[in-house]
Amino acid sequence: MSEASEAFQISVNGEGRSVEAGLSLQQLLEQLGLDVRKVAVERNEEIVPRSTYGAVKLLQGDALEIVHFIGGG
């Protein structure tokens, strides 16, 4: 069985979610339909710099808090 076919659990804004092994934070945000330029992400109580979203691989048990900025006038 390859690593890519394995899945594990993470928490996104307090809700459990199953993700594929090897998935990056940027890939998760894209799957969720979020614009990476308009979100801030905290992973395990630490802010993740936007410039590293593509390099940050999600791990079993990660707790993510995603804040989506909405423009308006």
CA separation for the pair 62, 44 (Å, rounded): 6
Gap between the Cα atoms of 25 and 57, Å rounded? 6
Asked if residue 73 belongs to a domain, the reply is: no
Could you read off the pLDDT of 15-58 as tens digits, one per residue?
Answer: 999 999 999 999 999 999 999 999 999 999 999 999 999 999 99
Q: Has residue 69 been placed in a domain?
A: no
Is 72 among the domain residues? no
Can you give the residue range of the structural domain that contains 34?
Answer: 3-61
Phi, psi of 5 (to 5 degrees): -90, -10
In terms of phi and psi (left: phi > 0; alpha: psi -120 to 50; beta: otherwise), the region of 47 is beta
Residue 39 is assigned to a structural domain of this protein: yes
| Residue 34, domain CATH | 3.10.20.30
Give the number of domains in the chain. Answer: 1
pLDDT per residue over 46-65, tens digit each? 999 999 999 999 999 999 99
pTM of the prediction? 0.86
